[in-house]
Amino acid sequence: MLSPEEYRVLREAGTEPPFSGEYVDLDEEGTYRCRACGNLLFASDAKYHSGCGWPSFFDVVSPDAVVLRKDTSHGMVRTEVLCARCGSHLGHVFTDGPKPTGLRYCMNSLALAFEPTKPDHGKRRE
């Protein structure tokens, strides 16, 4: 079940205000999934602080995780990023990112669900 704000972003291609999302400044290790369906999208080692106001990543976990589509809304030409599993709007990708990809996947926190890396409890201490 999506909140009204999540629905506006994921289903109606809305955008949350810059610097308002819960993951903008998050630096914890883990993975980011689609909030609507749980599809694995990004890893924390590809996240960086772009200064744009939204969580930014320079790569996806797999080329099959997302679908890219031309977006001409708001008088601009951009590339929209959609979840490959459920078609939810995640954000946009730009070509002004860091190496090695040169990409900036600019995502809405409301479109993501963060899963922290869990410590390995299966190992015995020596």
pLDDT in tens, 69-98: 999 998 999 999 999 999 999 999 999 999
HSE-CB of 75 using CA atoms within 13 angstroms = 0
Tell me if residue 118 falls in helix, strand or coil. coil
Annotated catalytic residue within 34, 37, 86, 106: 106
Q: Which two tokens stand for residue 85?
A: 């599993």
pLDDT attached to residue 118: 77
Active site residue 37: no
Q: Which domains does the chain have, with CATH numbers?
A: 4-113 (2.170.150.20)
pLDDT attached to residue 120: 57
Residue holding tokens 């744009």?
52
| Ranges in the chain, pLDDT < 70 | 119-126
